[in-house]
Structure 1
């Protein structure tokens, strides 16, 4: 019987550059703008002031998240590229030492020494494949699969904006008071947390309640601060 091994299951991408900034951005946008709006609403009854604060929080937060993710992921990518370049130079200068190092890495994983040497030798025939295996073993990265700073920045910007606009929507439609915004935010917090459970091992109700608690505690604290500052006349 010939042909490749049959694949009985597939894994989701757990190393891509979109999931973490998207999830973090949406949660951060929802929690931070809900808390900001609650804090301002606690200190003033002006719907216009609260709405303006929410818009400013959305814009500032989305731009900050995008910029921060871009710089962070770009720095991580540049560090990985620099280390990959070091490994590439070592493969060119000391091929025998690198071959022995690769064989030893297989031995450390439980492969018999003779077989490990044979596999290392076969992989090392192709310089590109050798570099890929060495960097994956030693750095935990693959040169062609490094995270994209642009993808991380755009994902963060869009997801933060989506999360941040939800507690703001009632004010944009002229609804007065914090009640409607709080209800929308709480539903969104629970829903967002439950949605995240689709890509994790947690149950939907646990993830939803966890996010709801985090958001409401943050909003409650800022509302209390806003109320104290507003009452003091500062």
Structure 2
């Protein structure tokens, strides 16, 4: 094999229906419940109240994230299906115009007009293939690989629950100090950020520190607010 021969490679998944909600769900669960627990702990020493707040934050956040992701992805999918249906009708009613439109797409990408016309003709001979190519070139979607609302909702629910459970865990096993929850949460924040770097172009150290700083700032501000309100006797 010559040095100039093609070397096959694989790309990481950047459009999967589970990755984005899983990552954001875990991060959001960890940061929001850590901040919530810190805020309540700043206003009271009652560990039962703190634990109850953490449980409520976990449940409310997980259901909210799942519901939000389901509606968001379902709406996105429905819009894509509606536009694909429009394209399907156009292919049925005006096949020659759609074929010319496809040829112009290839020409705009550097293909000669003669070759573009021939490629468009061959693709248009297969209606299913023509619909797929038109959808990808005009809408930027694959009719056979649309995101799943159920996958997005399930991923969000589980990942948020896992993230939100970590700062709550020490209180569930009888620990009464916020510091234990804070240390566990900080380790989880850095670890989660470092893990995300495996699917991004950032280094594990940068991603870990960025997530740690965001979480600590959020928890610190909420703790201060809780301490202020708790100290005022409200």
Separation in structure 2 between the aligned mates of residue 221 and residue 12 of structure 1, nearest angstrom = 36
**Cα pair 1:55 1:168 within 8 Å, conserved:** yes
SS of 1:145's partner is coil
Superposed displacement of residue 183, structure 1: 0.2
Separation in structure 1 between the aligned mates of residue 119 and residue 105 of structure 2, nearest angstrom = 11
SS of 2:17's partner is coil
Structure 1 runs not aligned, ≥5 long: none
Separation in structure 2 between the aligned mates of residue 94 and residue 128 of structure 1, nearest angstrom = 15
Separation in structure 2 between the aligned mates of residue 229 and residue 12 of structure 1, nearest angstrom = 47
Superposed displacement of residue 204, structure 1: 0.1
Superposed displacement of residue 12, structure 1: 2.1
SS of 1:143's partner is coil
Superposed displacement of residue 13, structure 1: 2.0
Separation in structure 2 between the aligned mates of residue 6 and residue 100 of structure 1, nearest angstrom = 33
Structure 2 runs not aligned, ≥5 long: none
**Cα pair 1:41 1:177 within 8 Å, conserved:** no
SS of 2:156's partner is helix
Q: Which residue of 1 aligns with 2:47?
A: 47
1:139-164 per-position Cα deviation (integer Å, ceiling 9, x unaligned): 00011100000000000000000000
Q: TM-score, normalised by structure 2?
A: 0.97
Separation in structure 2 between the aligned mates of residue 133 and residue 70 of structure 1, nearest angstrom = 27
Separation in structure 2 between the aligned mates of residue 34 and residue 182 of structure 1, nearest angstrom = 7
Separation in structure 1 between the aligned mates of residue 15 and residue 230 of structure 2, nearest angstrom = 46
What are the residue-to-residue correspondences of 1:10-89 with 2, within 5 Å? 10-89=10-89
Q: Which residue of 2 aligns with 1:223?
A: 223
**Cα pair 1:36 1:53 within 8 Å, conserved:** yes
Superposed displacement of residue 184, structure 1: 0.2
CA-based RMSD of the aligned residues comes to 1.0
Superposed displacement of residue 7, structure 1: 6.7
Superposed displacement of residue 14, structure 1: 1.3
**Cα pair 1:45 1:177 within 8 Å, conserved:** no
Matched pairs, number:
230
Q: TM-score, normalised by structure 1?
A: 0.97
